[in-house]
């Protein structure tokens, strides 16, 4: 379903979010103080405007209160990021905010930010997990304890069904999808057969996923 987003701050993070949301078919209003940054987003947003994300009158004039989500991607100016988040919440939007550090995170949490992102740290964790195991291709952290990983099936799994592998009973993990080349099976059946080099998308407790990776896959 088409949603409406306003992206405030068009640095590396904000402009990537803006482009991708627009590419996915959503309505995206791109806002920055710098004309050059705004100009760069003209072809990658529904509207791109020079405005101040910390000014209530600017946001009101842009009709921001009708939007679903506000993405605050203001760089190092923590005060401006907090101010902008407060305004977006007052105008009734869900706020997704890039945090600079733990103090900033705590304040954002207190003022009701709906999602707080630490792009560098999150990417660092993902890369570390990918490097830690040659079998893990992609890693998504769901919570402190749970994650979703993509693992490549080794020859050990070749020609076995999910029932035979019994991953849920042995490891308490769920196979959410099986990727084979360009194809993806998003509702795997217990009798579906796995082949070597298939990519399994598995959700579970981190310790159990590690056990599956070391012993089961």
The footprint of ligand ADP (CB under 6 A) covers 8-14, 31-34, 37, 52-54, 73-77, 80
Q: Output the smallest distance, CB 47 to ligand ADP, in A.
A: 14
Which of 8/157 has CB closer to ligand ADP? Answer: 8
Which of 54/85 has CB closer to ligand ADP? Answer: 54
154 DSSP assignment: P
Which of 12/170 has CB closer to ligand ADP? Answer: 12
Distance between CA atoms of 216 and 171, rounded to whole angstroms? 9
74 DSSP assignment: -
Closest CA to 186 of 169, 203, 171, 172: 203
Token pair 């203001």: residue? 74
Q: Output the smallest distance, CB 127 to ligand ADP, in A.
A: 18
* Other residues' Cβ atoms within 10 Å of the Cβ of residue 97: 25
Name the residue with the smallest CB distance to ligand ADP: 75
Contacts of 26 (CB under 8 A, 6+ apart): 2, 3, 4, 5
Which of 41/151 has CB closer to ligand ADP? Answer: 41
């Amino acid at each position: 379903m088409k949603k409406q987003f306003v992206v405030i701050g068009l640095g590396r993070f904000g402009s990537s979010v803006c482009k991708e949301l627009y590419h996915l078919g959503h309505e995206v209003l791109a806002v920055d103080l710098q004309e050059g940054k705004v100009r760069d987003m003209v072809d990658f947003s529904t509207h791109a405007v020079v405005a101040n994300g910390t000014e209530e009158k600017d946001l009101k004039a842009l009709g921001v209160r009708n939007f679903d989500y506000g993405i605050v991607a203001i760089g190092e100016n923590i005060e401006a990021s907090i101010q902008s988040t407060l305004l977006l919440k007052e105008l009734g939007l869900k706020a997704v905010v890039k945090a600079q550090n733990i103090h900033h995170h705590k304040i954002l949490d207190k003022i009701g930010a709906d999602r707080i992102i630490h792009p560098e740290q999150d990417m660092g964790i993902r890369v570390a997990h990918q490097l830690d195991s040659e079998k893990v291709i992609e890693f998504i952290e769901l919570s402190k304890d749970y994650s979703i990983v993509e693992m490549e099936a080794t020859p050990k799994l070749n020609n076995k069904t999910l029932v035979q592998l019994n991953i849920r009973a042995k490891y308490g993990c769920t196979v959410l999808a099986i990727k084979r080349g360009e194809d993806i099976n998003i509702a795997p059946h217990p009798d579906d057969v796995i082949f070597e080099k298939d990519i399994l998308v598995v959700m579970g407790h981190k310790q159990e996923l590690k056990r599956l990776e070391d012993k089961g896959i």
